[in-house]
Structure 1
Amino acid sequence: MQNASPETRWFHLCLADDLAGPNAFVTTRVGAVPLVAQNIKGRVVAFRNVCTHRFAVIHGEPAGCGPLRCPYHGWSFDADGVPVGLPFNPTDFQLEAEGRRRLALHPAGLARCGRLVFVRVALDGPSLEEELGAALFARLVTLSDAFPHRGAMLEPADDQAGDWERIEIANLRLALAPGRALVLHSAAPPGADPRFSRTVTLHPATAPTTADAELPA
């Protein structure tokens, strides 16, 4: 599947936790296409991160919290991508319901594997489970549930490399120390700026969760 077009490939974006709050959003870019996943009134949805009015990027930051509103003319969009807030609509745009629907944002692919959230440009194509394979998909679900707590950044030391298992899928590299830590490195997708790369360290439920706590032996 690595030879597939970037538009039809799944890329790891974030954890579901990052999109749990109202108006929480995470963005990325695949080639020339900016994407955004956002929580809108409890629904997590994904779109091309481009306003359909004047084609400005809606969210310019890699992550944050705020309505799905274009900074150019202030158009805001609902969970179906339809523009619902149009300043000066009666005088400048005069868009009725059908006109608004025609200007809906372009949806993007969105899928979850446990607490891991993936996106892709295309709506059609193999499911995330098909791309990863059923066995790896099931294992990632189990791992993401087994390490619920974020903690201090952790990297395997050279003399501990043998204690860590490494898994590589799509743009995601996992380093697993069973019962101790799970480190997720999400590289920026092809064509994306390095600022879209992300790293998070997760700890199991029985591990200390303070930033300065030592990991159990």
Structure 2
Amino acid sequence: MTEAMPDTRWFYLCTEDDLAVPNAFVTTRVGAVPLVAQNLKGRVVAFRNVCTHRFAVIHDDPSGCGPLRCPYHGWTFDAEGVPVGLPFNPTDFQLNAEGRRRLALNPASLARCGRLVFVRVATEGPSLEEQLGSGLFARLSALSEDFPRSGEPGETGDGLDDGSGEAWERFEAANLRVALRPGQALRLEALPPPGAAERFARTGNFLPAHTDTERPA
């Protein structure tokens, strides 16, 4: 980490929907540190995405669904980061409960802004609201609730230039570039954090909730 990119800085990762089902995970990298957020039995947690046994990366894909299991020796970790599945433990590792706890994954921080999920390396430091500012935090939270449906790129202007002449408002929050057409569409373009490859960039297109304007006869 460098002074220009402290480990207390928050970065947008995904929406709640991306982590809604058990074992769903999303990864990123901040500087040299791989991070993962994962749904483990309904609880969404964040860790450094590195096994504490031989320091292999656990999840190599940007996102997916599968156990929090290291591919090297098959160690599986629970929501506390403790290894609970250790193939050949009696013969090869011989770890008791205390030994397993000492090899728990290094935690990372996770925060929500409405339906949006952010992560950072450090476990202590300024809150996400403090980093964004209370006004921007409240607005981003409200927008995430107002535009809950995923949309195809064409539904949100396909690159924000649909020839309609209607203005898009643009602003930035953390590593997010936000484009808004009030009441119609929201586009979130997440730049990869410093040190992360382009495969960790993410773009999401969102639409308002369905509104039923029909009235009974």
TM superposition score normalised by structure 2: 0.91
Instruction: Tell me the residue number matched to 2:206.
Output: 202
Distance change (3 Å), C-alpha of 1:23 and 1:161: farther
Q: Distance in 2 between matches of 1:160 and 1:67?
A: 46
- Write out aligned runs for 1:135-154 (5 A): 135-153=135-153, 154=158
2:173 to 164, 169, 191: 169
Distance in 2 between residues matched to 1:192 and 1:160, nearest whole Å: 35
Say if 1:183 and 1:200, in contact at 8 Å, map to a contact too.
Answer: yes
May I ask how many residue pairs the two structures share in their alignment?
205
Deviations 1:14-36 (A, max 9, x none): 00110000100000000110000
Identity %: 72
Report the counterpart of residue 118 of structure 1 in structure 2. 118
Q: Which residue of 2 aligns with 1:179?
A: 183
> Contact between 2:136 and 2:173, CA under 8 Å: does it hold in 1?
no
Counterpart in 1 of 2:68? 68
- Relative distance call for 1:29 and 1:161 in structure 2 (3 A) is farther
Contact 2:38/2:44, CA 8 A, preserved across alignment: yes
Q: Alpha carbon RMSD of aligned pairs, Å?
A: 1.4
Letter in 1 for 2:118: F
> Structure 2: how far apart are the matches of 1:117 and 1:161?
32
Query: Which segment is superposed worse, 189-198 or 158-167?
Result: 158-167
Paired residue type of 1:188: P
Give the distance between the partners of 2:6 and 2:174, measured in 1 at CA. Answer: 10
Question: What's 2:30 paired with?
Answer: 30
Question: Secondary structure of 2:7's partner?
Answer: helix
Distance across 1 between alignment mates of 2:165 and 2:42? 41
After TM superposition, the score normalised by the length of structure 1 is: 0.91
Alpha-carbon contact 1:6-1:30 (below 8 Å) kept: no
Letter in 2 for 1:52: T
Structure 2 CA distance for partners of 1:161 and 1:45, relative to 1, 3 Å: farther
Amino acid across the alignment from 1:182: L
Q: Is the 8 A contact 2:190 2:202 kept in 1?
A: yes
Rounded to whole Å, the distance in 2 between the matches of 1:131 and 1:162 is: 31
User: Residues 170-212 of structure 1, C-alpha deviation per residue, up to 9 Å, x if partnerless?
Assistant: 11011000011000000110000000000010000137xxxxx
| Structure 1 residue ranges without an equivalent (≥5) | 208-217
Q: CA deviation at 1:135?
A: 1.1
**How far apart, CA to CA, are the structure 1 residues paired with 2:93 and 2:27?**
28
Could you tell me whether the CA contact under 8 Å between 1:12 and 1:186 is conserved in 2?
A: yes
Runs (4+) off by over 6 Å: none
Would the aligned equivalents of 1:175 and 1:183 in 2 still touch at CA under 8 Å?
A: yes
